[in-house]
Amino acid sequence: MNTFRNPQGIAAPLAAYSHQAEITGPVRWLVVSGQIGMDPSGKLPEDPIEQLGIALENVTANLEAAGMSHDDLVKLTFYFAGEIDLQRRRQRLGEWLKDLRPCMTVMTVAALATPELRVEVEALACTEDSPATQRSEQQ
């Protein structure tokens, strides 16, 4: 189904991610738009690490709404506006990912949609396309 690899002949990943993910079998994909660090009440904390935590919770909520979990994550893309403490960022992400090592891209950008936004996270997930899933989608 989802096999993650770090091929020989390529430098090891710089953090907790994999260089590639191979997807096999009949599958169902979920593409999650960029999630920001705003909670359901509309609160947007100033601290970018708090924003990161909320954005990751929003990714989790999207996965659960599609009947998926962290284990189905294949690729994450992070956009950070301005400098964000690398150690705190890695710690927060590690707490969320645990032992999972999806493919990952991290970018520092000049700005996001509004000046208050410091973090945005996109996700791509893939899971087995079971007959039960196919039946519920047809209804």
User: Which CATH number does the domain housing residue 35 bear?
Assistant: 3.30.1330.40
Give a yes or no: residue 43 inside a domain.
Answer: yes
Residue 59 CB-density burial (10 A; 0-12 exposed, 13-18 middle, 19+ buried): buried
User: Which domain does 43 fall in, by range?
Assistant: 22-138
pLDDT digits (tens, 9 = 90+) for 79-127: 999 889 999 999 999 999 999 999 999 999 999 999 999 999 999 999 9
pLDDT at 139: 42
pLDDT digits (tens, 9 = 90+) for 22-78: 888 899 999 999 999 999 999 999 999 999 999 999 999 999 999 999 999 999 999
Give a yes or no: residue 10 inside a domain.
Answer: no
Q: Which residues does residue 124 pair with via DSSP β-bridges, in sequence order?
A: 31, 75
**How many C-alpha atoms does 66 have within 13 Å on its Cβ side?**
22
**Number of structural domains, the chain?**
1
Q: Which helix (H) or strand (E) holds 80?
A: strand 73-81
Q: For residues 107 and 78, is the Cβ–Cβ distance under 8 A?
A: yes
Give a yes or no: residue 16 inside a domain.
Answer: no
